[in-house]
Amino acid sequence: MASLGLCKQLSRRSTFLSRCQSNFATRRSSPLDEERQIQEGIKDGVARRNLSKILIANRGEIACRIIRTARKMGISTVAVYSDPDKESLHVDMADEAFRIGPASTNESYLNEKKIIQAALTSGAHGIHPGYGFLSQSPEFAQLCADNGVTFIGPSPRAISDMGIKSTSKTLMEKAGVPIIQGYHGDDQSVGRLKAEAKKIGFPVMIKAFRGGGGKVWQTD
């Protein structure tokens, strides 16, 4: 399934991208801003449930920042680690640490069952996913709920809706949020896409409705 976006002129597109880059540059978070965001996320979880101990389902600097913030808030922390990360700083900083598997992330940091088991064994009340890994997995957020563990983040429904570009675009449109007009309907036949492209005007951009990876649009 693809989504067609409007781009009437290359010069207009270049201006738009330049503005986006400029906005991104001015809005980049400082370490202090990120710490505030982490603290607000934890506070939100605390408000919904008494979280005196949380597990951080991440590693490296991301986990370290969450641990520092949790410590300031009087919350105990549990780290998880793969074999190569056994001596990592986040493991030393946390109050407890659990091995969750070998080097492969699929067998460790993306292993939902092992992380849930570590949380239950340690008595952690909540799981902070950090960035990447399981932070955008609605299945993991639901698994946390099913096991009585608070997922410090959006609801499974919100994660799912925002992860599907066509769905999120429809939701934003209904909410009155300005969006780039285009076609993101269910009919993805070649004939329908050609017809919609002609309505939009060339050049057009075709984007997968799922996935990410930080790929950038570019012209030849």
Give pLDDT tens digits for 99-153: 999 999 999 999 999 999 999 999 999 999 999 899 989 999 999 999 999 999 9
Write out the two tokens for 92: 């030393």
Selected residue with higher pLDDT from 181 and 85: 85
Q: Can you give the pLDDT at residue 205?
A: 83
Give pLDDT tens digits for 3-49: 554 443 334 444 444 554 444 444 445 666 766 766 666 666 555 56
| 214 SS3 class | coil
Q: Can you give the pLDDT at residue 25?
A: 45
Q: Can you give the pLDDT at residue 43?
A: 61
Selected residue with higher pLDDT from 125 and 185: 125
Q: Residue 65 — very low, low, confident or very high, per pLDDT cuts 50/70/90?
A: very high
- pLDDT(90) > 70: yes
Selected residue with higher pLDDT from 82 and 216: 82
Q: First vs last Cα of the chain: how many Å apart?
A: 24
Report the relative pairing of strands 126-128 and 96-101 from DSSP bridges.
Answer: unpaired
Q: Can you give the pLDDT at residue 27?
A: 46
Write out the two tokens for 18: 């330049």
This prediction's pTM:
0.67
Q: Can you give the pLDDT at residue 64?
A: 97
Q: Could you count the other beta carbons within 10 Å of the beta carbon of residue 186?
A: 7
Q: Residue 93 — very low, low, confident or very high, per pLDDT cuts 50/70/90?
A: very high
Q: Can you give the pLDDT at residue 41?
A: 64
CA 147 to chain centre: 21
- pLDDT(188) > 80: yes
Give pLDDT tens digits for 156-166: 998 888 877 77
Question: Average pLDDT of 75-96?
Answer: 97
Q: What share of the chain is helix, strand, coil (3-state, %, to 5)?
A: 50, 15, 35
